[in-house]
Structure 1
Amino acid sequence: MYLLYTIIASLVSFFILKCMKKRRYCTDLKRLDGKTVLITGGNSGVGKEAAVALAMRGARVIIACRDPDRAEKAVREIKSRSHSLNVLHMELDLANLRSVREFCKSFLQREKRLDVLVNNAAMPSVLDWTDDGFSMCFGVNHLGHFLLTNLLLSRLKECAPSRVLTLTCSTYKYQKLDFQDLNYNLLPFFTYCRSKLANIYFSQELARFAEGKDVTTYAVHPGFVQSDWTCHYSFLFRMLTQVIMWMFFVPCEVGAQTVVYCAVSDEAAKHSGGYFVDCRPSTLRPFARDAGVAKKLWEASERLVKLV
């Protein structure tokens, strides 16, 4: 009985601390009229909330996702909540590099502007493989966005000043990259951590690659949010995780604040390649700031997606 009371008291304490913790909100009121924003995975979670917020600021918002039905439903919701009709969707499957190439070809033909690219879509810790034979986390979370960004970089440069936001996670700190096995797919959580570390290196190297082109980049950790990533798991796991998320995680609307901040803030533009948490720059672990590793990952990624 004592153990039960201890557990209950601990949970209550954690809940109170969570409620007391204040999260920063984006207070920059800059509008994005005439600008085009592309958000991968913008049909749910943080991506959808960011789409609503940026559409409210006047941006033309395009959400890219693989399920047309879910995308259409999300577009209707985003239009309703943002009171903007300038929202649409395009089909994109980041687990298929051919789909990424076809998407970029279509986008460049249809859209004359790209001012903000938000690499938001991500796969959770699942043991699965992409159509091209990469582990799902590494293939979708890193390689898919790597190819997407590179193929759209010319349009970003034409529309400069422009921005690239890549969502990552603080779990990056639990793993390092192994260049002998970048396609690691053994322990799901560690696979996810490596993909999120790759996102950080990618953002840093992209900042160096685009230096002088007025294209700034940001690695964004939205916090631990109450998203629907558990849909890939069993019913029991989903139920347990939903309880934990309700107690300790923040709503997706709050998580999207740092995305919005990095999309509009002049202050953020001074920290290209930086890692942002809670609407401000944050310090990375030393190993995650290794420019040599970032460059090596970029070159390896070019080969893997056949850009060279």
Structure 2
Amino acid sequence: MDIIVIILVSTIFLCVFGLCLKSGNKICKSKKRLDGRTCVVTGGTSGIGLEIALDFAMRGARVIVACPFDDEGKVAKEKIIQESGNTNVVYKFLDLGSFKSVREFAADIIQTENRLDILMNNAGVGIPDHKTTDGFHIIMQVNYFGTFLLTILLLPLLKKTGTASDPSRIVNTTSILHRIAMLNLDYLNPDVGCNLFKRIMYYGNSKLCLILFSRELAKRLRGANIVIHNADPGEVGTRIFDSAGVVIGFIISILILILSKTPFEGAQTPVYAAVDETAKKVTARLFRNCTMQSPSSAATDIQLAKGLWEQSVVLVKLSKQELDECLKEN
């Protein structure tokens, strides 16, 4: 009987706590149309990314959804077309866990698209524990290094598209877990075989790296018509937690569904950062619940951001000539 009472009380507490959290959830109220614009959404075939891609499609954009699973990509494309009524939706293969794939995807976009208005860097993994074919820990490569390389390679098209009145936008999806990060620039590619706690910390590290990258990139693009933001979607129950194991991942997802957001709700802040008129007037900011937030102190470390940039350029094997070409003014 005591156990039943404890379970009942705990359930009631979690439900009440969840309702309190949900009361802070915000919906993007911008009615901005995206007719004639082109948007790339990485990881745009499931969870938050699918909701973001659907939102852009309903605003009239040409939407390119990217993921490393062909079947999922084709299904998502048809779903977006069916629900939005917008047939200008494309699926393209992209594996952020492969620098070769990132380069091929970026080259294809540069060659086949005449503009790129929004780059939504949404794709990410949870806490798996293995190396990529490039020899990087999967968490760091997919969540950060692949995104870093992709963004740099797409800069020429973003710069070509943006104007003073309507700048191109880059949105990096980060997480509140950037606050637990313990980033060591000499240890950006950790070993595998880590315990669960370390993998969670590596996840936090990858999300801190995205914020630092946004800050440094914004500084290097000063004067260009590109706005860069970080969006924390909040705690959302998606398949990203499956990598914690079937049982633990299921429990985490269920708890988060009770306590916090649906994928639709999680998509609202990234969409806000990409379309809101107020958000286009600032750059390198962090948004949560469609509101500007202050990141961790580490995320504002200018020297850390510069050091991370320099290390990242080396690790993803960007040549000086290639980097200069991507960063040069039009």
TM-score > 0.5 by shorter chain: yes
Q: Name the residue aligned to 1:17.
A: 17
Aligned pairs for 1:245-264 within 5 A = 245-264=256-275
Q: Does residue 8 of structure 1 match 2:19?
A: no
Gaps of 5+ in 2: 320-330
Task: Name 2:309's counterpart in structure 1.
Answer: 298
1:175-194 aligned at under 5 Å gives the runs 175-185=181-191, 186=194, 187-194=198-205
Whichever residue aligns with residue 5 of structure 1, its letter is V
Check conservation: 2:27, 2:268, Cα contact below 8 A.
Answer: yes
Contact 2:40/2:63 (CA < 8 Å) preserved in 1? yes
Alignment of 1:57-76 (within 5 A): 57-76=59-78
5+ residue gaps, structure 1: none
- Which residue in 2 is equivalent to 1:119? 121
Residue equivalent to 2:170: 164
| CA displacement, residues 209-261 of structure 1 (integer Å, 9 cap, x when unaligned) | 11110101001100011211134353323432332133113100011011111
Corresponding residue for residue 247 of structure 2: 236
Query: Following superposition of structure 1 onto structure 2, how do residues 196-235 of structure 1 map, counting pairs within 5 Å?
Result: 196-235=207-246
How far off is 1:4 after superposition?
A: 5.0
3-state SS of 1:216 partner: strand
1:51 to 53, 56, 73: 53
Distance 2:245 2:304 in 1: 36
Whole-Å Cα distance in 2 between the matches of residues 103 and 239 of structure 1? Answer: 33
Contact 1:33 1:59 in 2 (8 A): yes
* Structure 2 CA distance for partners of 1:17 and 1:241, relative to 1, 3 Å: closer
Are 1:39 and 1:47, in contact at CA under 8 Å, matched by a contact in 2? yes
Asked if 1:108 is matched to 2:114, the reply is no
Q: State how far apart, in whole Å, the 2-side matches of 1:12 and 1:71 are.
A: 39
Moved more, 174-183 or 93-102: 174-183
Post-superposition offset of 1:180: 1.7
Q: 1:143 is matched with which residue?
A: 145
| Range moving further from structure 2, 194-203 or 3-12 | 3-12
CA contact (8 A) 2:127 2:244 kept: no
Matched-pair contact (CA < 8 Å) for 1:14–1:248: yes
Question: Deviations 1:90-147 (Å, cap 9, x if unpaired)?
Answer: 1111100011111111111111110000011001111111111111111111100100
Cα distance in structure 2, aligned partners of 1:229 and 1:286? 27
Q: Alignment length, in residue pairs?
A: 308
Bigger mean CA deviation after superposition, 51-60 or 7-16 = 7-16
Residues 169 and 196 in structure 1, CA contact (< 8 A), matched pair in contact too: yes
Deviation at 1:168, TM superposition (A): 0.5
1:291, distance to aligned residue in structure 2 (A): 1.2
- Give the letter aligned to residue 97 of structure 1: F
Q: Aligned partners of 1:232 and 1:287: how far apart in 2?
A: 27
TM-score (norm 1): 0.96
| The 10-residue stretch of structure 1 (185-194 or 85-94) with the greater mean CA deviation from structure 2 | 185-194
Q: TM-score, normalised by structure 2?
A: 0.90
Q: d(CA) in 2 for partners of 1:105 and 1:225?
A: 32
Contact 2:237/2:252 (CA < 8 Å) preserved in 1? no
Classify the secondary structure of the residue corresponding to 2:5.
helix
What root-mean-square deviation, in Å, do the aligned CA atoms of Structure 1 and Structure 2 show?
A: 1.4
